[in-house]
Amino acid sequence: MRDGVRLNAVLYKPMHLTSRVPAIYAKTPYLSDREQFHEWGTYLAENGYVVAAVDARGRGDSEGVFRALDGDGLDGYDVVEWLAKQPWCDGKVGSFGGSYVGYDQWATIKQLPPHLRSAVPTASVGAGVDFPMSRNVFSFYALQWLTYVSGKTLKRNAFEDTSFWLRGILEFQKKRLPFHEYNKSMGNPAPMFEEWVSHPDFDDYWQSKMPGPREYRRIDFPILTITGHFDGDQFGAFHYYDGHMRYGTGSARARHYLVVGPWDHAGTRKPMKEAGGRSFSENSVVDMKKLHKEWYDWTLKGLPKPKFLKDRVTYYAMGADEWRSAPTVQAVTQQVRKLYLGSRDGQPIEEFESGTLTDQRSSSPAPDRCTFDPTVTPEWLTLSPPKLSEASRWMGDQLVYHTEPFEEELEVNGSAKLVAWIALDVPDTDIEASLREIKADGSSLALGLGAQPMRARYRESVEQPKLVVEGELHPYQFQFGFTAVRLAKGSRIRLTLRAPLAFSRERNFNRGGVVADETEKDARPAHLALYHDVTHPSYLELPIGKRMRAVHVATGP
């Protein structure tokens, strides 16, 4: 590297190499990736590429100190340019890898190395977008992941011990400690945890880790973005994709392809036939190695484009069980249907006494009310560790709304949006929104990813907090993840608003101070009023997809 630190790489070369060929690399903090990269490296080398599986700085056999989400782009630039100069490389370099390795690719793209000619960022972490905080709300998982990559070798057993982490969170909550001390409570000092938590705004600290308008405008090579309907880093993947679509040149945008499959985070690399409680046909399982190979053949060797990529956006329609394509993400949605929130008694807090979602505006002047009360000791604090996973939320109410059963099949394709007019009697609180399909038999399935949590002070901007004035009415916008699903006849949609899950995110005590510094002594109950009158219509924008016969159907490779 430019500072003299040496990184370790395992190279896979074609047998009897007689000419220069393109090089493809992945730089990873995960030693376990070497097993996957061995399989991929062997496969791609057999097809005429040199592959480099590189240990990130400070990880595995590489020198230096690993600082998560810091410096990956500069090292990536140096790796690309080192590969391009080797006697077996023809000067063209491509990249691949998922999750943090997807982030690593975008951090490298930000540096614009001249010999990077193709990239396949998969399930890419968005720094400050969906990890270690999601829309300004930090997660307990951040420390779990930092523990995984602490030191030179992976701490796999500790990372995968769910009971250990649940017990640790339980004890941490019982101690009534502020969130910024969670790392010490768990026994891992992890300085990066405290550094991250000291930046609750989406400020320059986070924005500097990813491409901005200037870099997006200068990208001039093909990119294949891969994510899934249930991928926990879908918001990160779309952050990069949307940024490039907004600021990139026309020619560069035309060479940026997007694939969204019926996969969770791990499934974006190893597709399975089940995700999100749903099962799919064999056609849903994409041969990822083959797709990558055909992508590199096209972008690095000038061979034909992969047949799977019929258009710039390829997505899987759940329920219909087929691959479809469209020229843009917007074209996936045929129309937007507004469903207005309403209620009869102002307290739709139960599934069987819920509010409504209809095409007609509500004329009820009475708002729907609920309470998020962090002053009440959550019942789950008295549970034994084996029962912890059963705890669903902090003590508090929820607001629930249903559509009527659909008289025919309905296709939801795209990203739903909720606009809710809300008044609070506290300067801040956290709200979570989710959408589920409720089938005729009463069973339920997620439509896709829920919306990112909403911290009230960031209702207008994730960069500039603005505390709520007691009693003031504001529109809160919740953006749901991209999905494509056919809902069965007789199903209905359930919308739920509540406080965030107990074991996933830092606890907001509603006081309005620095959330990570507050404790239960700072707690105030939040009384929430959701309005849906003539002047303040709260509504769900539901993206309706094209009917099957009107959309091209692609076949998985």
pLDDT at position 500 is 82
State which H helix or E strand residue 147 sits in: helix 141-148
| pLDDT band at residue 386 under the 50/70/90 scheme | low
Amino acid at 261: G
Q: How many helices (H) and strands (E) does the chain have?
A: 13, 26
Q: Rounded CA gap, 11 and 87, in Å?
A: 14
Q: What is the mean pLDDT of residues 515-544?
A: 95
Other C-beta atoms closer than 10 Å to the C-beta of 3 total: 10
Residue 384 lies in a domain: yes
Distance between CA atoms of 508 and 519, rounded to whole angstroms?
9
Lowest mean pLDDT among 159-168, 388-397, 400-409, 507-516: 388-397
- Confidence category of residue 301, pLDDT binned at 50, 70, 90: very high
Same domain, 348 and 411: yes
Predicted local distance difference test score (pLDDT) of residue 554: 38
Total structural domains within the chain = 3
Residues 515 and 374 in one domain: yes
Any domain includes 324: no
> What percentage of the chain exceeds 70 in pLDDT?
92
pLDDT at res. 549: 35
Residue 26 domain flag: yes
- Residue 255 included in any domain: yes
Whether residues 461 and 492 share a domain: the answer is yes
Q: Are strands 278-279 and 444-446 parallel, antiparallel or unpaired?
A: unpaired
Task: Please give the residue range of the domain that contains residue 345.
Answer: 335-546
Q: What is the CATH number of the domain that holds 361?
A: 2.60.120.260
- CA separation for the pair 306, 309 (Å, rounded): 6
Q: What is the pLDDT of residue 551?
A: 32
Domain identity same for 98 and 143: no
Please tell me the pTM assigned to this model: 0.94
Do the Cβ atoms of 441 and 501 come closer than 8 Å? no
Cis-peptide, bond into residue 500, ω within 30° of zero? no
For residues 310 and 552, the answer to whether their CB atoms sit within 8 Å is yes
Residue 557 lies in a domain: no
234 and 199 in contact (C-beta within 8 Å)? no
Last residue of a domain, one of 169, 197, 225: 197
| 66 close to 55: Cβ distance less than 8 angstroms | no
Q: 174 pLDDT band (50/70/90 cuts)?
A: confident
For residue 474, the SS3 value is: strand
Q: Are strands 313-317 and 322-326 parallel, antiparallel or unpaired?
A: antiparallel
* Greatest mean pLDDT range, 21-25, 363-367, 497-501: 21-25
Among the ranges given (198-207, 226-235, 497-506), the one the predictor scored with the smallest mean pLDDT: 497-506
Contacts by 285-293 with C-beta closer than 8 Å and gap 24+?
285/556, 286/259, 286/261, 286/556, 286/557, 287/556, 287/557, 289/39, 289/40, 289/43, 289/44, 290/557, 291/259, 291/557, 292/40, 292/44, 292/96, 292/120, 293/43, 293/44, 293/47
107 and 230 in one domain? yes
Average pLDDT of the residues in 517-524: 93
In sign, the C-alpha dihedral spanning 105, 109, 110, 113 is positive
pLDDT of residue 553: 31
**Three-class secondary structure assignment of 36-67:** HHHHHHHHHHHCCCEEEEEECCCCCCCCCCCC
Do 553 and 324 form a contact (C-beta atoms < 8 A)?
yes
Highest mean pLDDT among 82-86, 351-355, 448-452: 82-86
Residue ranges of alpha helices (H) inside 513-557 are: none
Residues 154 and 209 in one domain: no
Q: What's the pLDDT at 555? A: 37
Type of residue numbered 467: L
Residue 316 located in a structural domain: no
Residues 345 and 450 in one domain: yes
For 176, 456, 483, 539, the CA distances from 477, given in Å and listed in that order, are: 32, 10, 18, 10
- The answer to whether residues 451 and 480 touch, using CB atoms and an 8 Å cutoff, is yes
Residue 554 lies in a domain: no
Residue finishing a domain among 151, 179, 197: 197
Using the 3D structure, point to which of 292, 309, 326 is the last residue of a domain: 309
Q: Do 425 and 450 fall within a single domain?
A: yes
Give the Å distances, CA to CA, from 229 to 117, 180, 295, 308, 553: 28, 32, 22, 18, 18
Q: Judge whether 16 lies within some domain.
A: yes
pLDDT greater than 60 at residue 395: no
CA distance 449 to 230: 6
Residue 391 has pLDDT above 70, yes or no: no
Whole-angstrom CA distances from 436 to 395, 399, 447, 481, 488 are: 22, 14, 5, 13, 13
Backbone angles phi, psi at 472, to 5 degrees: -70, 145
- 422 plus 290 within the same structural domain: no
Q: Are 437 and 409 in contact (CB under 8 A)?
A: no
Residues 187 and 224 in one domain: no
Residue 46: band (very low, low, confident or very high) from pLDDT cuts 50, 70, 90: very high
Pair (190, 217) in one structural domain: no
Query: Would you put residue 97 in left (φ > 0), alpha (ψ -120 to 50) or beta?
Result: left
Same domain for 422 and 470?
A: yes
Count how many Cα atoms sit within 13 Å of the Cα of residue 447 in the half-sphere of its side chain.
32
Cα separation, 236 vs 225, in Å, equals: 11
Say if residues 499 and 432 touch (Cβ distance below 8 Å). Answer: yes
Instruction: Compute the distance between CA of residue 71 and CA of residue 67 in angstroms, rounded to an integer.
Output: 7
Nearest-5° angle of CA 149, CA 151, CA 157? 55
